[in-house]
A and B are shown apart, each in its own frame.
Chain A
Amino acid sequence: EPEVTQTPSHQVTQMGQEVILRCVPISNHLYFYWYRQILGQKVEFLVSFYNNEISEKSEIFDDQFSVERPDGSNFTLKIRSTKLEDSAMYFCASNSGTLPYEQYFGPGTRLTVT
């Protein structure tokens, strides 16, 4: 069964460093998303991406964040200068573009900023 994959599973970085989180969505899916979940809290939307551009973004997704689909398979989230409060689990998700638009999530990348 097709699935969303994410790498790495765990990333430790120092404050101020750039990180790139990688995702491979399900191959025939059209919409892509990044969410984050701070430990013990709810899942929060960051950004959605369709047709090679951002569709929506939340107020969390400020200038420090960017997304890219550099080729036909990868979907990346870059954080330019990490802060301690960026420590969270980051989930990539995708959907096929057909109702009910259920989103399939990857296993997540746990980002720890020290």
Chain B
Amino acid sequence: AQKITQTQPGMFVQEKEAVTLDCTYDTSDPSYGLFWYKQPSSGEMIFLIYQGSYDQQNATEGRYSLNFQKARKSANLVISASQLGDSAMYFCAMREGTTGANNLFFGTGTRLTVIP
């Protein structure tokens, strides 16, 4: 089974609107972390936001928020007030366990296009 599933290969959003990118995960480890990364066309991977499995509140970072629903094993990224510069690939990733050595498992990504 895939550890991270992103079911939306592509999404479109109007500039200034909000958009939700879906992510579901699969793990039996009670301790895990969920991450979202942005990959612009230039190729680099930019860390956006993190949610820990024991965090009680949804994470927020500026215009990014993470809608964490633990029982459903989902960690959707919400981008508010979309900007043209938000057009990119977005990857959801998970770290199992609580050591720094644990690698990240990535989903297949969602390509977001912001329409002017």
Contacts and interface: CB of A to CB of B under 8 A. Distances in A.
A43 B103 contact: no
Given A31-B100, A97-B100, A102-B35, A43 B91 contact: yes
Nearest to A47: B103
Interface size of A as a range: 20 to 34
B37, B98, B99, B103 — which one has the most chain A CB atoms within 10 A of its CB? B103
User: How many residues of B sit at the interface, in one of the four size bands?
Assistant: 20 to 34
Task: Pick from A42, A89, A97, A108 the residue with the most CB of B within 10 Å.
Answer: A42
B50 interface: yes
Given A100-B50, A105-B45, A30 B106 contact: no
Contacts of B100: 30-31, 50, 95-98, 101
Contact of B101 (A55, A99, A106): A55
Contacts of A106: 44
A75 interface: no
A102 B101 contact: no
A58 B3 CA distance: 15
A101 B102 contact: yes
Given A42-B106, A43-B91, A43-B106, A105 B37 contact: yes
B91 A42 contact: yes
A99 B47 contact: no
A95 B93 CA distance: 15
Given A42-B91, A42-B109, A43-B45, A103 B101 contact: no
A45 to B, nearest CB: 4
A104 B47 CA distance: 7
A108 B52 contact: no
**When A and B form their complex, which 7 residue pairs have the shortest distance between CB atoms, in order from nearest?**
A105-B45, A55-B101, A45-B103, A31-B100, A43-B106, A97-B100, A100-B50
Interface of A: 30-31, 33, 35, 41-45, 48, 50, 55-56, 58, 89, 91, 93, 95-108, 110
